[in-house]
Structure 1
Amino acid sequence: HKPDNPSWMYRIASFTVAQYWRTYYKLTNGLDCGSCSKAQRRKCKEDDLYSECPRAIKIESLSKPIVDADGNTTELGELIADDKAIDLDAWLDDNTFRLGFPQRLLDIAEKIDNGEALNKNDQKYLERYRHKAQISLF
């Protein structure tokens, strides 16, 4: 078995390095030159505009400081809205809190609040609900 020609090995290595840098550029800038038209690529090549690509998307750091109109400095990551964040004002409202409970449990709570005695079925339902809601230690 004859060893491979070294010139082919250099060629493959140069293609591998070029592919690495294309992938790196695409990951950091969001685009590569293959996304542009031939005329745009020709213009970039003539004017050497690769570092200032007009179509590239620049990636910002989430820890980048942002200054608002009042002069307060905040990190960019803190300004991004989170759909899963808890709306604290809504949680302070007891109507929102009640939406997560079964109607029967709310009726039992109203009876307890009014000082009425609970029948056996209500006591058993409350006991089961408390047991289900109890946090397990193990």
Structure 2
Amino acid sequence: MSSCCSPACSSVLSAPADLRKRERRALSDSKNAEQLKELEASMEIKEKKYSLIAQLKLTGGVNERDCLHAIFKKLFSNRLMSRMNLNGTNERIAFTNSNLYDIVLECVRESFPKFSDQEYKSRVGNFLKNAPSRKDGSISDESINLSQ
């Protein structure tokens, strides 16, 4: 597995264990929409972004699909994914407009370099589309806007 070239990434990886625990907690905290907004905003801070990338790159999987699904399950609950789609149509959260869209792609490509943009977009779209049918994936009437 190749390593990130950024000095910020290196410093985060060598950070004290309590910092890494807080960053891991950020993964589970993005289970609801408000926390997703906070996580999205925190990606503007390079150290936090590189820390998240470093953690997600360790996820792995037997193939691209498995890796992508494992990363999504770390980041989002089924309930939240059921309120998302690629483009934000029907008052849903637009995943392609988020910083996390590129971060997840980068992390999957770490293990599977030939994973194309089109295949990624298709797999993400299908995974989000099927979220309501998975356990705890019922859609609520509440709408969300990440740009607020």
Normalising by the residue count of structure 1, what TM-score does the alignment of the two structures yield? 0.22
Which structure carries more relative contact order (alpha carbon 8 Å, separation 6+)? Answer: 2
Larger Rg: 1
Normalising by the residue count of structure 2, what TM-score does the alignment of the two structures yield? 0.21
